[in-house]
């Protein structure tokens, strides 16, 4: 086994091992625990940077391990994986920082951070999975490692949310499993390959392939929160803010939608999916989700719930990008994988800051928070504008390419969906911003826990992560055309999926 083979394993271990060690630590060892977390996280980032360089220079990082006859665990760092992996690792790093500040003084932190690390390991496993089986293994591991995070507070409400979460995700997992086993039965063991691998089964197994596609998308759609499979997500809001941030921005919903990307592009192949007429239903489903999520978000007073419905809507942009046939839409969808992550995590960090610093949970309580917490609110504003799609922020880039893609595919109704969704985004974000910046404060904060000190609005550890991600939201938009941007990377991926297309 050479170094290139072990590298994907090392990336996994760099978050798995810290998690296991943390479980074994006593709860009081805060310093040591934070150190282990940070060392693991930093190490992981370094390894990933090394791998990114390698992938750009055409290196291959593949690891095979046979567990049953004809059944391999495969880890592969291809271009698509290397879009998702750095996102997870970077956001894990920031979220861990944030969580250390957020959970200070609360009980059972070793359990929390242990499962947190497992959850990131599972996400990275999902990202680097080289075939559907490996993908499924980590997809289910993700379910198991996030459950304790959702019910972390141990309240009745959290328990109920946990139960709903499990019912949805395990049910989806079962459908996914049946689909995968069926596919393995038809096609044997297939690795994710650019352009797909199933076209050889045409036309003999067409109807079976359609049923399998339905099973796979239904299974993945649960985590991706496609309407009507989204019911768990708003309830899962009871989890602590860092968990919500990670669940929404990277881990769970992204795993689902990333799976859809993999199935369409690297299993069926986008051209083959199109020829089986599978993409149109998916596009419709994604569009319905986009509108439905936004509509529901309008009527939420709880800030985190509004953000949750916003997630449902925004994540489906990715599915929409996948479902529109054509490279431009692919670029838009794939790049939104990163963009949505950065923007949404910013918003959740900020919501957590309001709750932790001032006890503000509801939008109706947000009058004047902008003056009390200008930095946090600034970050929130950047995230919200990004979501709405104001140029030159991240969200604009995604929507622009999605729109181009829709035109290219001659699906003008998608443009209407995009416009309507942007309007709705504005309708549910702008009032929040208005309250925060322009409404004067008339009463005391519900529960001020962190007082103003030397002009610092809240704890350092709570402030740095949202600012960092807000800056990132601007940078990926401003420098979208640079060689290191997610957009360039997404174009490279699209170029590999559409064999005839040059960016």
Partner 1 sequence: MFDPMPWLILSPLIWATLAFVHGPGRGGRLAVACLILQLSLAAILAQQVIAGGVRMYAVGGWGAPLGIDLMADGLSTVMLLLTQTIVLPLAFYARAYFVGHANSLRYFWPLTGYLLAAMNALFLSSDVFNIYVTLELLGLAAVGLVALVGGAGPITAAMRYLLATLLGSSAYLLGVALLYGVYGSVSLVALKPLIAADAPATVSLAAALMLLGLMLKTALFPFHFWLPPAHGGAPAPVSALLSALVIKASFYLILRLWFDLFAPIVSITAAQLLGALGAGAILWGSFLALRQTHLKMLVAYSTVAQVGYLFLLFPLATGMSAEVAESAWQGGVLQVVAHGLAKAAMFAAAGAMITATGRDEISGIAGVATRIPLTLFAFALAGVTIMGLPPSGGFAAKWLLLGAALASEQWWWIVVMVVGGLLSAAYVFKVLRQAFLPVEETASFQLLPRMLEWPILLLALASLVLGLVGIEVLSLLGAA
* Contact letters for partner 1, residues 279-298 (x by CB under 8 A): --------------------
Name which position in 21, 25, 137, 201 contacts partner 1 (CB under 8 A). Answer: 137
Q: Angle 303-323/252-262 helices, nearest 10 degrees?
A: 10
CA–CA gap between residue 193 and residue 191 (Å, rounded):
6
Q: Do 50 and 85 meet the contact criterion of CB atoms below 8 Å apart?
A: no
Q: How many CA atoms lie within 13 A of 35 on its CB side?
A: 5
Q: Angle 252-262/206-223 helices, nearest 10 degrees?
A: 160
Q: Which residue, 150 or 322, has its beta carbon nearer to partner 1?
A: 150
Neighbours of 142 (CB within 10 A): 27
Name which position in 68, 105, 440, 502 contacts partner 1 (CB under 8 A). Answer: 68
Q: Which residue, 221 or 333, has its beta carbon nearer to partner 1?
A: 221
Segment lying near partner 1 (by CB under 8 A), choices 162-170, 318-326, 380-388, 491-499: 162-170
Q: Please tell me whether residue 240 binds partner 1 under the rule CB under 8 A.
A: no
Q: Angle 81-102/241-249 helices, nearest 10 degrees?
A: 170
Name which position in 32, 174, 200, 499 contacts partner 1 (CB under 8 A). Answer: 174
Q: Do 195 and 271 meet the contact criterion of CB atoms below 8 Å apart?
A: yes
Q: Which residue, 4 or 163, has its beta carbon nearer to partner 1?
A: 163
Torsions phi, psi for 76 (to 5 deg): -140, 130
* Contact letters for partner 1, residues 83-122 (x by CB under 8 A): ------------------------xx--x-----------
Segment lying near partner 1 (by CB under 8 A), choices 62-70, 246-254, 277-285, 446-454: 62-70
Q: Output DSSP code: residue 65.
A: E
Q: How far is the CB of 89 from partner 1 (least distance, A)?
A: 22
Q: Which residue, 220 or 282, has its beta carbon nearer to partner 1?
A: 220
How would you classify residue 485: left for phi > 0, otherwise alpha for psi between -120 and 50, otherwise beta?
beta
Q: Please tell me whether residue 222 binds partner 1 under the rule CB under 8 A.
A: no
Q: Output DSSP code: residue 266.
A: I
Name which position in 10, 178, 390, 433 contacts partner 1 (CB under 8 A). Answer: 178
Show Cβ contacts of residue 207 under 8 Å, excluding neighbours closer than 6 positions. none
Name which position in 17, 52, 141, 164 contacts partner 1 (CB under 8 A). Answer: 141
The first and second tokens of residue 273, run together, are 């999916």
Residue numbers at the binding site for partner 1 (CB under 8 A)? 23, 65-69, 71, 73, 107-108, 111, 136-137, 140-141, 143-144, 147-148, 151, 154, 159, 162-163, 166, 170-171, 173-175, 177-178, 181-182, 184-185
């Amino acid at each position: 086994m050479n170094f290139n083979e072990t590298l994907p394993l090392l990336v996994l271990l760099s978050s798995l091992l810290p998690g296991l060690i943390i479980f074994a630590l006593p709860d009081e060892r805060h310093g040591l625990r934070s150190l282990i977390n940070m060392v693991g996280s930093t190490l992981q980032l370094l390894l990933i940077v090394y791998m990114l360089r390698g992938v750009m220079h055409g290196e291959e990082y593949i690891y095979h391990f046979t567990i049953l006859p004809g059944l391999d665990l495969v880890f592969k760092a291809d271009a698509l994986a290397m879009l998702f992996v750095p996102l997870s690792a970077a956001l894990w790093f920031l979220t861990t920082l944030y969580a250390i500040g957020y959970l200070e003084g609360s009980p059972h932190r070793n359990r929390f951070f242990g499962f947190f690390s497992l959850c990131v390991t599972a996400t990275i496993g999902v990202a680097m999975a080289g075939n559907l089986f490996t993908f499924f293994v980590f997809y289910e591991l993700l379910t198991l490692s996030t459950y304790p995070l959702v019910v972390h507070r141990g309240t009745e409400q959290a328990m109920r949310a946990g139960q709903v979460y499990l019912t949805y995700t395990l049910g989806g997992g079962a459908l996914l499993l049946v689909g995968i086993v069926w596919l393995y039965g038809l096609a044997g063991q297939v690795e994710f390959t650019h352009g797909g691998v199933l076209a050889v089964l045409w036309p003999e197994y067409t109807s079976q392939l359609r049923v399998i596609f339905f099973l796979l998308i239904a299974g993945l759609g649960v985590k991706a929160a496609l309407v009507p499979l989204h019911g768990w997500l708003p309830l899962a809001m009871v989890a602590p803010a860092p968990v919500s941030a990670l669940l929404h921005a990277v881990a769970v919903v992204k795993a689902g939608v990333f799976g859809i990307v993999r199935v369409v592009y690297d299993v069926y192949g986008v051209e083959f999916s199109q020829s089986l007429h599978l993409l149109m239903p998916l596009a419709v489903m994604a569009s319905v989700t986009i509108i439905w999520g936004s509509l529901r978000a309008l009527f939420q007073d709880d800030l985190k719930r509004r953000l949750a419905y916003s997630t449902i809507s925004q994540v489906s942009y990715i599915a929409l990008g996948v479902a529109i046939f054509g490279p431009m839409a692919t670029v838009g969808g794939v790049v939104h994988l990163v963009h949505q992550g950065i923007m949404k995590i910013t918003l959740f960090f900020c919501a957590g800051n309001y709750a932790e610093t001032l006890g503000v949970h509801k939008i109706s309580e947000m009058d004047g928070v902008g003056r009390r917490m200008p930095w946090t609110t600034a970050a929130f504003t950047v995230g919200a504008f990004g979501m709405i799609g104001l140029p030159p922020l991240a969200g604009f880039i995604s929507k622009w390419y999605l729109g181009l893609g829709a035109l290219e595919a001659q699906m003008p109704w998608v443009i209407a969906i995009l416009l309507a969704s942007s309007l709705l985004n504005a309708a549910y974000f702008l009032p929040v911003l208005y309250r925060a910046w322009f409404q004067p404060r008339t009463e005391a904060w519900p529960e001020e826990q962190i007082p103003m000190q030397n002009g610092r609005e809240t704890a350092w550890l709570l402030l740095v992560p949202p600012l960092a991600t807000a800056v990132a939201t601007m940078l990926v938009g401003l420098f979208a055309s640079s060689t290191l941007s997610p957009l360039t990377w997404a174009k490279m991926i699209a170029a590999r999926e559409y064999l005839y297309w040059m960016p």
